[in-house]
Amino acid sequence: MNNAEINVFKQKALQWATSFEVYCCLDSNKYSDPYTQYDCLIAIGSDHTLAANAGNAFDKLHSFYEEHKNWMFGLLSYELKNEVEDLSSQHTDQLNFPDLFFFIPTYLIALQGDEIKVIKGDPSIIEIIHQIKLNHSTSKPNLKIESKFDKETYIETVEKLKTHIKRGDIYEINFCQEFFANHAEINPLAVYNELNTLSPTPFAGFFKINHKYILSATPERFLCKRNNRLISQPIKGTAKRSKNSVEDEQIKIALKSSIKEQAENVMIVDLVRNDLTKSAVQGSVKVDELFGIYTFPQVHQMISTISCELNPTTHFIDAIKNTFPMGSMTGAPKIKAMELIDAYEKSKRGAFSGSFGCISPSGNFDFNVIIRSILYNEKEQYLSFQVGGAITYAADPESEYEECLLKASAILKVLGQ
């Protein structure tokens, strides 16, 4: 099958999946790196599910995996921080995703190159999916999008966070703001398809958990395991693209050589190295790439790659727990940064800045970072997306605010704003 035919099949499979209560699509958008196993995985229906709140959720996931040793897809909410560390969240949550949710799919379809493969379930579903007639929804959602911060309050808050940095409480914090819409009615799959067309990214995905949805165009990998190696690829450093190719190349070079962006990036690299050490064979943690520049439709990003050899005495679920939540979404030192996030942000993060992905029967896994993502509770008609950035001593509050709007641009566009 050619590219166009594979894409049509993917659209039909996602449309067929909408009749199920639970399904998950992980799409690399044909982005190839040494760790990507499939172009796209579509997990549909559930034979077994696990939903747990922070407390002993990771232990339950450990038991769930050991009991089934099957393909499983799932969500790790940011709120699991309250289990990993002695923390809590004071903010209200109108989305109400579970803190942890995993399911073993009834059907699992893999797309790789020009091939379609049914990994789990009756192979005849390929023919059923081929017969689907595609619905092409073109209507833009009619939403009133608001922000929990106006520009002035955002800038004031960044100044307060810089005061914490000046007095040595922290040296970097990922500070986020929520955009939201009440009385929101959208076609989740149509919005996701448009977002993925406008902003195709390597760790994109669509996750439906009953009446709750994650529509993600995330460019960031949290953590993956390939055999006995763990790999983390934090993003820190963002620059806007230019339509002028010469200017775009200059922006890329400026990002690569920016002392500010390098400082942000290396702080998180150090944090990730420290997190990986907890699960690593002694002396095996290494930085494979520092300050790599990667280009996406809206932005250039600075991405570093850190890896280690997993200690044979450490279960891979514990390795996930030992690095969670990801340092790129907290700041450093990690615990103090998370305390200040709860104090200064105005929304509970919930699924945002958590992760979703999959675990294979052999214990390999791949999890993204939930950024550049729309979260939607259909029952409550509440839609939300959050954006943020790293605040350091050198941060300019006005520039940080503009960077938030840049990161939100693709989502605002598909929501008709």
**Residues belonging to the active site:** 220, 236
Per-residue exposure over 59-94, b if at least 16 CB sit within 10 Å of its own CB, e if not? ebbbebbeebebbbbbbbbbbbbbbbeeeebeeebb
> Does 333 sit behind a cis peptide bond, omega within 30 degrees of 0 on the bond before it?
yes
Phi, psi (rounded to 5 degrees) for 237 = 120, 115
Q: Which residues pair with 224 in a beta bridge?
A: 231, 366
Distance CA 331, CA 160 (A): 16
**C-beta separation of 181 from 42 below 8 A:** no
**163 class by beta-carbon count within 10 Å (0-12 exposed, 13-18 middle, 19+ buried):** exposed
CB count in 10 Å sphere of residue 312: 8
CB count in 10 Å sphere of residue 52: 19
State the amino acid at position 24 in one-letter form.
Answer: C
**Residue 384 CB contacts under 8 Å (≥ 6 apart), including other chains:** 94, 95, 178, 179, 180, 181, 347, 352, 374, 375, 376
**244 class by beta-carbon count within 10 Å (0-12 exposed, 13-18 middle, 19+ buried):** exposed
